[in-house]
Structure 1
Amino acid sequence: MKNSYIFLILLFCSCTNNKKFDGYVYDYATEKPIQNVFVDVNGNTRKTDSTGYFCVKLKPNLPSIIYFKKEGYFSKKIYRKPDSLGRYSKGKTHWNRIYLYNKESEF
């Protein structure tokens, strides 16, 4: 009986596990990291650090819209959709390089 409870607790914890979406934000023209970019995921906002790094949690069974905003740069929007099991592919959510275009660039 005790083993059944432990199994149920472990099963519940594994089902409610959030996945992370992390990476770095760079300026497209200079390829330098951009600090203090707002990263918004379904209303949960974070900022990039001095190296341009960000890390946000994604809910495993819900599609997410991720906005990148910084004054002087064009905003960027990324859509993340989980697979049929509610998971995100590691290749798609791990160590992303996000590039923002400066509004003053000639691009």
Structure 2
Amino acid sequence: MRYDLSRLMTKAWKIYRQNKEKGINFAESLHRAWLSIKAEKVNNSRIAEAKKTANIIEPVNTWARWKELGFEVVHGNKALFSTVLIWGSRGDGATYKASFFGESQVQPI
């Protein structure tokens, strides 16, 4: 499998800049970026499986991703489904539970 080297380096520099105060060097940032990109395939399959299990056909994103896209989740809406994802940028194999909201549950900011 081939990876986009430009995307890998951009992610590594972003991680490095965000964690410079914590004493993380660039080599560690590059390692975390690599783990993060490799984890995307696993995370995407977990999301697809959870979406299929919940019988959801509309586009979904996390609360934070909807905000990045210029939307906000309407107050009072509950997540359509949740799944455990790998947090590759931490570099320690940590996982977290992500909740997903559908396109029908958001409005433009």
Determine if the TM-score, normalized by the shorter chain, exceeds 0.5.
no
* TM norm structure 2: 0.27
Structure with greater proportional strand content: 1
Higher helix share: 2
Larger Rg: 1
Query: What TM-score results when the alignment is normalised by the length of structure 1?
Result: 0.27
